[in-house]
Amino acid sequence: MTLSLGALTHENLTTILTTTPPLSDDQLYSILSTLEPGAALLVTDDGGVDPSDLPLLQLYYTAHLFSLLLINDLNEARFVTHRFPPPLLAQRDPVLLAATDLLRAVWARRYPAVYFYLGVHGIPAPDGTSTTNSPQWPAELRPLVQRYLEHFRGATVELLGRAYTSVPVKLVGWFLGVDVEVDDDDDENDEGKEMEGVQGEQGQGQGKQKRTEELVAFLVEQRGWRWDEAVRVLYPRQQQERQEKQRRSMMEEEKNSIEEEESIARLVGLIVGDLGE
């Protein structure tokens, strides 16, 4: 289907968001940013908006924020929020508000809040939130929301790999918004009380065990991490590669040092031999 990029219509926007195969992150951003002048044309000179155009503007600006999150341009995303038409802000659309709150959470790296706004089950509402329920994203946006959830989790895995040489599975679950199984000793320990807040009441017992197994399997099979079940600790691949590189570097330096010492010894032997003659 051909996209009419010069016109901002609900049909056109829905096609952009749900086309198969999906547009790349850069393509999505490029197209939606091209449509922003069309959104501006729906605002009158005195800042008014026809009520019939509000649903389209709400969908457009929410999608535009997600497109910027996907390319990690948080600064531009914040600028876009300042370009919202005043009537759109006055409408206080829960979906647009959720997208704006999501942006704030990503900016501040408030991981539980990010997963709450992305609709991950078992994550309680952040402090100061007027509702205890995760946003109900409209059908047109759900593929984009799921896409950003995977994007954010992938980026977080990369950060964990660079920051930790080893990391407990419970902490990994906290960073990735996964309600994982914890051992009995952990429950009796006061350490990590902040993280306990993101452990929902749903998915107890076998549910938690299954999610733990799935998380570990993903990190081991897809990301090359190592899992020590005895201590329930994961070892990121990047750190393993770094340690292996350091080990090889030390071995190479030791080899070079031995060769240098042997060369010096041979040279000394030749000098001594010449003097003896």
Look at 99 and 203; give whichever has higher pLDDT. 99
Kindly state the average pLDDT of the residues 216-240. Answer: 88
On average, the pLDDT of the chain sits at 82
* Lowest mean pLDDT across 50-59, 230-239, 242-251: 242-251
Q: How much is the pLDDT for 237?
A: 80
Q: How much is the pLDDT for 219?
A: 93
Task: Kindly state the tokens that stand for 264.
Answer: 């010096």
Q: How much is the pLDDT for 265?
A: 61
Q: How much is the pLDDT for 135?
A: 86
Task: Kindly state the tokens that stand for 190.
Answer: 């006061």
Helices 74-81 and 54-70 pack at an angle, to 10 degrees, of: 160
158: number of CA atoms within 13 Å, CB side? 6
* Lowest mean pLDDT across 102-106, 185-189, 250-254: 185-189
Confidence of residue 112 (pLDDT cuts 50, 70, 90): very high
Whether the link from the prior residue into 168 is cis, omega within 30° of 0, is no
Q: How much is the pLDDT for 1?
A: 45
- pLDDT tens track for 97-110: 999 999 999 999 99
Q: Check: CB of residue 56 under 8 Å from CB of residue 8.
A: yes
Task: Kindly state the tokens that stand for 81.
Answer: 């929020």
* Lowest mean pLDDT across 43-57, 128-142, 163-177, 242-256: 242-256
Q: What is the DSSP letter of 247?
A: H
Cα separations in angstroms, 103 against 92, 186, 242:
16, 33, 33
Decide if pLDDT at 203 tops 50: no
